[in-house]
Chains A and B, each alone.
Chain A
Amino acid sequence: MIEIKNLDKYFGNDKVLNNISLKIDKGEIFAMVGHSGAGKSTLLRCINGLESYEIGTLKVFDKEVKNLSTTELKSFRKDVGMIFQHFSLMQRKNVFDNIALPMQVWGFSKDEIKVKVDELLKLIDLSHKSTAYPSELSGGQKQRVAIARALTLDPQILLSDEATSALDPNTTTSILDLLKKINKELGITIIIVTHEMDVVKAVAQKAILLEHGNIIGQGEIEDLFLQPDKKMKKFLGEKEVIPEDGENIKLYFPKEIAQYSIITHMARTLNIDFNIVWGKLEKINNHVIGSLVINITASDKESVTQYLDSKNVTWEIL
């Protein structure tokens, strides 16, 4: 659905995106993660033509975005909704009129607009606020209105630029749930830009990690978090604290493996003792994945690793 190849982007002499290549399939929730200034927003804005790019190709629905004429670009944007960190609602229009504006711009009839907006108000659970002004709404409610506005033209793709970054954790969860629902029920492909790992873990299926305009990691979320490589670890800021003597073995538990019984089963089968010295369990996309570091005496190393291999558990010696 979206295919980017060797894309470079400059602001003046500053190269802010370097050799970006990625593919996003229909129906995915795809995250672009990175620290502030990494180039996430710029990359996102290239997708709907809010930013231009000089080198490389960026195809959406098999069309090269930079080659679209002004008119083509406008109708292309009907298919690509967008939401923003600070909601970007019109202060002087009430909820209904804010949501209705894209349809007014595209010349829909009053009746069509009414039907669609009422339907969306139900979806975002704000039917009772249709005559309220943005200044009378909470942050979460404003973002819901912005989401409804982005859906009025029945887009196939929804771009989200730090949509939850101005919200508290509970509100963030409710907005993310809404996005998941939209993805599932309406089949809309969603691209999320965020600097918050928790957001990625909660909703995304795939992600890229951006740093200084470069993709430094990319793949399925479970893989990225379960077995983070050096750069990913650095980004996550994690470092295990482990004993100096003995052998430290790190076990990874992907979603298929019932982690607890393996540990106890291993102790019983091999009849050995070991210490659990580090561990982490995380909920990613509604399932739990985790890792555990155990400390064993050097002489047990072979039997333990053999056992783990026999159970298909991924492990590494730290």
Chain B
Amino acid sequence: MLEKILLPALWETLYMSLSSTLLAVIFGFIPAIALILTDKNGLAPNIKVYRVLDVIINTLRSFPFIILMIILFPVTKIIVGKSIGTTAAIVPLTIGAAPFVARLIESALKEVDIGVIEAAKSYGASNFQIIFKVMIVEALPGIISAITLTLITIIGFSAMAGAVGGGGLGDVAIKYGYYRFKTDIMLYTVLILIVLVQCFQSLGDYLYKITKK
């Protein structure tokens, strides 16, 4: 039972969550930097661009994940070729998490001491250099926390995606635990999820600690 059902489900969950997190971080970084740049106290203030991004991000964030997934079926089909399955679940997970990531990274970057940025300006660094050589370097611990939080949130959402045909541990829990009353399997999946979240959180905390000086 363990090897046949739970292990493949664990891999599916890991695959879904890790790929979605990676993609969400990539897609979240870009608007985060745009927000930081165009903020009224930013390096290139632009109220219009900031407002537009702000509204888009807030709108995307306010969609319940299940709804987002259903709305995105056609898009998913174009990208992955089908709208249901483990790989297909990555699309809504990424799109659902990217705005979340953008906000988290924006606030991590906002934490960077203004004095350090001023100093960089004072020796002639360009905006590009200030972002990549100063702000991101300084904000790294915060960014690591943001990624940890995203990954853990996505693991939770992936279980939800699994329940509607995405595979993974959520799928197993519903199929065996809920429909077939196999309480032991249900319990195992929950246990595995708890351990998984715990492991990633500890790893994240550890990385935070060694990068924070």
Contacts and interface: CB of A to CB of B under 8 A. Distances in A.
B202 interface: no
Contact of A88 (B119, B141, B211, B213): B119
Contacts of B141: 92
A206 interface: no
Interface residues of B, number: 22
B211 A106 contact: no
A78 interface: yes
Contacts, number: 79
Contact of B133 (A48, A74, A104): A104
Contacts of B121: 50, 77
Interface residues of A, number: 34
A143 to B, nearest CB: 12
B122 interface: yes
Contacts of A133: 213
Secondary structure of the B contact surface, majority rule: helix
B184 interface: no
A312 to B, nearest CB: 46
Contacts of A186: none
B138 A74 contact: no
A106 B11 CA distance: 47
B118 interface: yes
B123 A88 contact: no
Contact of A106 (B118, B124, B213): B124
A206 to B, nearest CB: 23
A284 interface: no
A80 interface: yes
A168 B148 CA distance: 41
A74 B137 CA distance: 21
Contact of A135 (B115, B119, B137, B213): B213
Nearest to B113: A88
Interface string B66-103: 00000000000000000000000000000000000000
Nearest to A75: B124
28 contacts: A50-B121, A50-B122, A73-B124, A76-B124, A77-B123, A77-B124, A78-B123, A81-B123, A82-B119, A82-B122, A82-B123, A84-B115, A90-B116, A91-B113, A91-B213, A92-B138, A92-B140, A92-B212, A101-B133, A102-B124, A102-B125, A105-B120, A105-B126, A105-B129, A105-B133, A134-B213, A152-B123, A153-B124
Interface of A: 48, 50, 73-78, 80-82, 84, 86-93, 101-102, 104-106, 133-135, 146, 149-150, 152-153, 159
